[in-house]
Structure 1
Amino acid sequence: MVKRSIKGTKLPAKKLEYQCLKLFDKQPSKRFNARQIIKKLQIKNSAASVQAVLTNLEGAGKIDLIKDGKYRLSRTNGTAESVRAEVLEGYVDQIRSGAAYIVLGGERHEDVYVQAKKLKQALDGDRVMVKILKRYGKRVDGEIVKILERATDQFIGNLQQSKKYAFVVPDNNMVDFDIYVHPQDLGIAQDGDKVLVRVHQWPDRAGKNPIGKIVKVLDATDTHGVMMDSILINHGFDTLFSNVVLREAESLPREISEKEIARRRDMRSVPTITIDPATARDFDDALSYRLLENGKKEIGIHIADVTHYVKPGTALDREALRRSTSVYLVDRVAPMLPEVLSNELCSLRPHEDSLTFSAIFELDSKNRIVSRWFGKTIIHSAQRFSYEEAQLVLDASHGLFHEELSELNRISKHFRKKRYKEGSIAFETPELQFELDETNHPIAIHTKVRKDTHLLVEDLMLLANREVATYMAKKSQREIPFVYRVHDLPDEEKVTEYSLFLKELGFQFDHQSPAQIRKSFERLTKAAKSDDVLAFAEPFAVRIMAKAIYTTHNIGHFGLAFDYYTHFTSPIRRYADVLVHRILEKNLGGDYRTSKEELEAQCKHISNQEKKAQEAERESIKFKQVEFISGHIGETYAGIVSGMIERGIFVTLKDIGVDGLVQFADLQEPFLVLENRMHAVAKRSARAFKIGDQVKVKITAAHINDMQVDMELVD
């Protein structure tokens, strides 16, 4: 294999860390700072991105900070290889076999593989210490030595009871233990009941059973409701708030005092609206527009002031951090905050005064920002629009707040065009929308159509997020620890695989540089609008991209092409935004610095919670898709070949996105799946399939609990 030179390239963070460590390992007595490393490696990374890697390596004990920003290889750890042979912290990412990969903190190259028998009762999402045992090329094996934090203490399962003791057998087959329940902790639960149990005592060593208490007896006949609750709980999200948290939320004052109003900028006279999904109840952002006397335009992005109500050190705040995010399943929401906050106190409801944290921009006639202001405000939302209602006003060119909507739409289009010109990637990932009956059973699946109003809100939120991050990054010459939303360059190997995949579909994807990758995505987006096969392939691009995360180490946002970016606009449903509000407020009157180490630990926790929430949301969509198609057995659909295994081909149904398997055994002859898994060729005839082929299939079976669908080809 030809070794690719890194000279003159901008390295993604993981590869940059590897090259830095390799440099220190080759010259263990030499000292380097960020700029010297850039010169030595002849790379195009910024000094800030190299410094972020050096800070991580120092934190991991691999290098030592000497003085004047210079580092050298840690003398206590020796070479790079011996540095890796240590006990490391990470999160459990469990796979179907019961084994797991431990995703390490920081920006390390490798995950650690742990066999099921060496997990020591650690479960998916748990924060653990893992000991490195062996290395096989790129593979690293280890074992769990300590469980630092449990992702969940709740489980759904069946109660098995005798006269003297009772156990809950968890439904989740990844859980390899039963939970002991004392008779006095059974409540009204009886033998055979489907129950929700909370563990209150974990064993001090593997092999012993945890001890729990029955929280709730579930309706075993509501299999679909139980499944959705299980999805939440299996991913570490509670379905209920504790009484302590609820009492604290209920005790918060409902009235806004005159003293509180006096310390804020009063925006109640400025025309202000909200635009949200029709079913939304938590309105965490509002928009205002007005023409100023000086001829300039003023736009306001007003965000629910959650930090006015949720104070550090309270039970509410601890619970919000623990959850870190609201989880939106198809038929329910597991909110980050109790409903009295998310849907009432903090929600920017129409025709009410609301406390907000605002980003206000003054624009000239060419929509250039001439001034910006951040601070606490009070607003009065004059109208609550759904996206569809606001779009009707734009389309009709008249109606309530037509002038404001039209101006905001023009301004958002200006910023969108500018963003794309500067390299922002327009990912077009289809989003499914389910139509449910009164029992939450899906009766229809649609693909959401993104209208101008969706893009209008999105672009103004991006503007606020970018400007807040830029303000904090440039506020002081000495770094102020802050929460950034960063997105690294895509992994080279994944991009190469994706380009080969697209080549099979007739599309040339140039990936020689970050700029070319951006241009290739732009071409793909345009081509996909008129090509069903490319439209199917386009969403796969998200899988090759690095995962956007929260961190104190800013490296910019590749996908948006922003040098600075954060999340400021959704504190009702994201704890990262709560942290951003607190830090920003304290830095409006002077310089305030919090512990970067503590903030980074919070960022890692929030990023991990976000990942689990996304997995839960995807699983709920998959479940509802299978539930929907179970009512259409025997019907025929158009689909696209989307994957291959030795047993058959996967087909994705058009418009509704349901995936199913067509087994080769049903095709009357054996097939050979080629090594690249892009083609399957019949052994006795000229019949063949390739990824992207358009086919017709009949639904033959739907296994709801396993979330699997069987199909057969229709000639």
Structure 2
Amino acid sequence: MGRKNNSKKKHNKSNGSEGKTFKGKLDITRSGMGFVIVPDMETDILIRPNDFNTAMHGDTVLVRVSGGGRRLQGEVTEVMERKRKEFIGQIQMNETFAFFIAESEKPMPDFFIPLGNLNKAKNNDRVLARLVKWEKGDKRPVGEVVSLLSEENPNDIAMKEILLEAGFPLGFPDDALEVAARIPDEIPSTEIKKRKDVREILTLTIDPVDAKDFDDAISFRVLKNGLFEIGVHIADVSHYVEPDNALDKFAYQKATSVYLPDRVNPMLPEHISNVLCSLRPNEDKLTFSAIFTINAKAEVKDYWLGRTVIHSDRRYTYEEAQDIIETKAGDNAEVILTLNDLAQKMRRKRFAKGAINFSSQEVRFKLDEKGDPIGIVVKESKESHQLIEEFMLLANRYVAEHISKIKVKNKPLPFPYRIHDTPDTEKLLPFIAFANKFGHKFDASSPEAIAVSFNQLLKDAHGKPEQHVLEQLGIRTMAKAKYTIENVGHYGLGFAFYCHFTSPIRRYPDIMVHRVLQEVLDNHVIVDKKMEDRCKHCSERERAAMEAERASNKYKQVQYMQNHVGEDFDGVISGVASFGFWVETVDTKCEGLVSVNTLLEYDEFRHVENDYALVGMRSGKKFRMGDKVRIKVVAANLLKRQLDYDWVIVEDTARSESTPSPKSGTKSSGKSTAKSAQTPKTDKPKAARPKAEKPKGKKKKE
């Protein structure tokens, strides 16, 4: 059904809208009815199937309002942008043509496939097909088979479908690949002469052990005056990817690389990502750099921004760098230890000035050769990660601040800032009340006081039972970080100016930043009047990538737990709703739902929203977010990417709120509350999902 938002912030354009045209996204329900969601409009516009005019679910469209009354109605007049052009489905053959029938929860037309577009596909084959054209007036779209899909590897098909659902094509169009193929591998001497040459300065990279796209490097030397010169060198993607050609347009449409557990869906072709632009050791590379003069107190005394040529001397993994930090021995140990000392000082200063110190964990799956999960590893952020993180943050901040000083006709230069707004007071109040129950006081009198209170709370709660729940709920009170030309600073990082400059191989906004910065350095600024639209597009694609990553991780969790149905695990309640509570297992970090229906044998439970809890009507038994519980895995549905758990009553639980925690992954001495059938598919409420931006190790270093 269509949405209805009664927010006072939204402007009601419904009055007098008949005959007007609006731009929005088409949402097609399972029943086949459509609704166009228009930003800042209070109600959606109803679109009947006969009025879709070649539009499909998720497409950005122009819609003309044709009627009002209780609900605005309209018809699509133009498809502005397809959410996706590739689909997974089955071929149905006839003598002279074929049809492609997509596997989709949303109603969509079959594709007409000319025999010349079958690409060796046969009747009933499962294939990846692409929409080639769909002209107005045509009953069916024309498609082509891109590739055959092997039924022997359902995992591969599932990952591809997740990417396609999120609107990320699986490959690159021929015109983009043709542009990429024409880029020469060798660096012309004329290009080197235009740049600052820092090839003689010690330069190194620190990345994950399996990384191939090294987009940042750090150079280090001690100056004659005793100060340190530290260069943050970033792959100069904007040198290779020229504005508005086929490669650039496709990269902009994707806007980001997508990282799934067993693959990367790259924003740029592999040869550019992993060869041309990757800052590999013992190779000359073109870079865009921020070079800082820093004293021993980690104070920046001077900086320089511009294009450079570098030569990486050594490639370190995070593990190798961490070993040097801990043992104080190894190749270039003195340099790495000095960089780490400066990074830790910068980190302490950040938190002292208001950055919020939310801890972060990265969960990775150990996969076999087929991509099936055979284990789960939880990675903590260590000093080697923080070393890179702090210098990337430094470069991002100084680039943004440098650009912020530029005015055109007394107006700020349109620029893709990365902003993170202050917390919403309405969202914060329930969290403050909840934190008070654990004895944590909170000052919400100003944004600065909120940051101080958050850091004090996180420090005081560290190691205590409530740590996990307070961290999770604290993050959920935060606004979402996004790209925009309206700079309000980055609250979570404590920066007045911030942008993304350091990962142009995998993020399009960084390419935009490089281009604007070069125009400023050249004193030849071209105002991009569409910059805000580009920012919105990149923010939307970033959210889509995050959803794809979550969906793929959930798939792997379910895949992993299929081998553990019937086993018991220790867990922590990670979310609560009226129909049950979610539990994340302690060791494997796999989240599943305990349905309230499976608790009826024990008691009837009501949802106490401000306490983030389900409370027993008779017993007073409470299931509150952050509580430790014991669960049994009762169902693992790969198709729905859903895990069902039962709460396990461990001995003495009924008489005491203190529940023993047997070893994870074993049969319990307790009993399950009920035999659980597969619960209906339910999504965790949106309020329980959002994440504030926080610094991470690579793949996301800042």
Question: Is the pair's TM-score, using the shorter chain for normalization, greater than 0.5?
Answer: yes
Q: Is 1:167 equivalent to 2:99 in the alignment?
A: yes
1:120-139 to 2 correspondences below 5 Å: 120=52, 122-123=55-56, 125-129=58-62
CA distance in 1, matches of 2:530, 2:590: 43
After superposition, the Cα gap between the structure-2 partners of 1:688 and 1:84, relative to the gap in structure 1 and judged at 3 Å, is: farther
Map of 2:390 onto structure 1? 459
Equivalent residue for 2:635? 701
- Give me the whole-angstrom Cα distance separating, in 1, the residues matched to 2:129 and 2:427: 41
Matched residue SS, 1:586: helix
- Contact 1:434/1:445 (<8 A) preserved: yes
Q: Counterpart of 2:415?
A: 482
Tell me: CA distance 1:97–1:443, structure 2 relative to 1, closer, same or farther (3 Å): farther
Counterpart residue identity of residue 425, structure 2: E
**Counterpart in 1 of 2:675?**
none
What secondary structure sits across from 2:605 in the alignment?
strand
What secondary structure does 2:219 align onto? strand
Q: 1:442: how far off?
A: 0.9
Moved more, 368-377 or 337-346: 368-377
Q: Which residue of 1 aligns with 2:310?
A: 379
TM-score (norm 2): 0.84
Residue identity (%): 39
* Number of the residue aligned with 1:613: 545
Q: Which residue of 2 aligns with 1:563?
A: 496
Q: Distance in 1 between matches of 2:32 and 2:589?
A: 28
1:630 corresponding residue in structure 2 = 562
- Partner SS for 2:280: coil
Q: CA offsets per residue over residues 280-303 of structure 1, 9 Å max, x none?
A: 000000001111012221110000
| Map of 1:438 onto structure 2 | 369
Shift of 1:684: 5.4
Provide structure 2 residue ranges, at least 5 long, that are not aligned to the other structure. 1-5, 650-702
- List alignment gaps of at least 5 residues for structure 1: 1-13, 22-78
Aligned partners of 2:575, 2:412: CA distance in 1, in Å?
47
Equivalent in the alignment of 2:347: 416
- Once the two structures are superposed, the pairs formed by residues 264-275 of structure 1 within 5 Å of their partners are 264-275=195-206
How many residues get paired? Answer: 635
**Which AA in structure 2 matches 1:559?**
G
Q: CA deviation at 1:510?
A: 4.2
Amino acid at match of 2:187: I
Deviation at 1:217, TM superposition (A): 1.0
Amino acid at match of 1:566: C
Which residue identity lines up with residue 335 of structure 1 in the other structure? Answer: P
Partner of 1:190: 122
Specify the alignment match of 2:264 in structure 1.
Answer: 333
Structure 2 counterpart of 1:348, from 262, 279, 293: 279
Q: Pick from 125, 131, 151: which aligns with 1:220?
A: 151
| Cα separation, 1, equivalents of 2:493 and 2:29 | 32
Distance 2:354 2:38 in 1: 31
Q: CA deviation at 1:257?
A: 1.9
Measured after TM superposition, the shift of residue 129 of structure 1 is: 3.6
Distance 1:629 1:537 in 2: 27
> Following the alignment from structure 1 to structure 2, what is the Cα–Cα distance between the partners of residues 495 and 92?
33
Q: CA deviation at 1:178?
A: 2.7
TM-superposed deviation, 1:657: 2.2
Measured after TM superposition, the shift of residue 582 of structure 1 is 1.2
The alpha-carbon deviation at position 649 of structure 1 amounts to 2.8
2:214 to 259, 269, 283: 283
Write the deviation string for residues 67-110 of structure 1: whole angstroms up to 9, x where unpaired: xxxxxxxxxxxx988599964434457888988886655xx5x6
Is residue 598 of structure 2 the alignment partner of residue 674 of structure 1?
no
Q: Kindly tell me: are residues 698 and 403 of structure 1, through their superposed partners in 2, closer, same or farther at Cα, counting changes over 3 Å?
A: same
1:513 aligns with 2:438: no
Contact 2:111-2:141 within 8 A present in 1 as well: yes
Structural mapping, 1:548-697, within 5 Å: 548-595=481-528, 597-667=529-599, 668-669=601-602, 671-674=604-607, 676=609, 678-683=612-617, 685-697=619-631
Amino acid at match of 1:163: E
Secondary structure, aligned partner of 1:587: helix
1:650 to partner: Cα distance:
2.2
Specify whether residues 696 and 280 from structure 1 end up closer, same or farther in structure 2 by C-alpha distance, changes over 3 A only: same
Distance 2:36 2:449 in 1: 33
Conserved 8 A contact 2:90-2:101 = yes
Q: Aligned partner of 1:701: which letter?
A: A
Out of 432, 441, 449, which is 2:380 matched to?
449
**Which has the higher mean CA deviation after the structures are superposed, 186-195 or 140-149?**
140-149
Alignment of 1:204 onto 2:136: yes
603-612 vs 127-136, greater mean Cα deviation: 127-136
2:572·2:629 contact (CA, 8 Å) conserved in 1? yes
Equivalent AA in structure 2 for residue 676 of structure 1: E
CA displacement 1:505-533 (0-9 Å, x = unmatched): 66554434322321232133224421243
Following superposition, the deviation at residue 123 of structure 1 comes to 4.9
Which amino acid letter does the alignment assign opposite residue 301 of structure 1?
V
Q: Deviations over 1:432-468 (max 9, x none)?
A: 1111111111111122111001111111111101100
Give me the whole-angstrom Cα distance separating, in 2, the residues matched to 1:594 and 1:94: 37
Residue 371 of structure 1 aligns to which amino acid in structure 2?
A: D
Letter of the aligned partner of 2:639 in structure 1? N
After superposition, give the CA deviation of every residue in 1:112-149 in whole Å (9 maximum; x if it has no partner): 5466857937555432345688799xxx9776634321
Q: 2:466 aligns with which of 533, 558, 583?
A: 533
Match of 2:380, SS? coil
Mapped to 2, the partners of 1:95 and 1:643 lie a distance apart of 27
Partner of 2:478: 545
Q: Which has the larger share of helix? A: 1
Change in CA separation of 1:645 and 1:554 when aligned onto 2, cut-off 3 Å: closer
Deviations 1:511-568 (A, max 9, x none): 3432232123213322442124331441343333222221222222222221211111
Match of 2:173 among 242, 248, 251: 242
Structure 1 pair 399/568, CA: closer, same or farther in 2 (3 Å)? Answer: same
Distance in 1, matches of 2:504 and 2:82, equals 25
Query: C-alpha distance in 2, partners of 1:614/1:135?
Result: 38
Match of 2:89 in 1: 157
Structure-2 change in CA distance of 1:189 and 1:469 (3 Å): same
| CA distance in structure 2 between the aligned counterparts of 1:500 and 1:203, rounded to whole angstroms | 57
Aligned-pair distance for 1:184?
A: 3.1
Equivalent residue for 2:293?
362
Question: C-alpha deviations, 1:335-364, integer Å up to 9, x for none?
Answer: 011111000010000111111111001123
Residue in structure 2 matched with residue 395 of structure 1 by the alignment: 326
Contact 2:63 2:75 in 1 (8 A): yes
* C-alpha distance in 1 between matches for 2:291 and 2:227: 13
The CA distance in 2 between the partners of 1:161 and 1:608, in whole Å, is 38
**1:472 is aligned with what amino acid?**
I
Deviation at 1:622, TM superposition (A): 0.8
Task: Tell me the secondary structure at the aligned position of residue 488 of structure 1.
Answer: coil
- Go from structure 1 to structure 2 and tell me whether the alpha carbon gap of 1:197 and 1:430 turns closer, same or farther (over 3 Å shift): same
CA 1:318–1:707 in 2, change beyond 3 Å: closer, same or farther? same
Are 2:354 and 1:427 equivalent residues in the alignment? no
Question: Is 692-701 or 681-690 further displaced after alignment?
Answer: 681-690
Write the letter of the residue equivalent to 1:422: K
Tell me which moved more, 541-550 or 401-410: 541-550
8 Å contact from structure 1 (residues 499, 509) kept in 2: yes
Closer, same or farther in 2 for the Cα pair 1:101/1:426, shift >3 Å?
farther
The one of 405, 418, 440 equivalent to 2:336 is 405
* SS in structure 1 of the partner of residue 423 of structure 2: coil
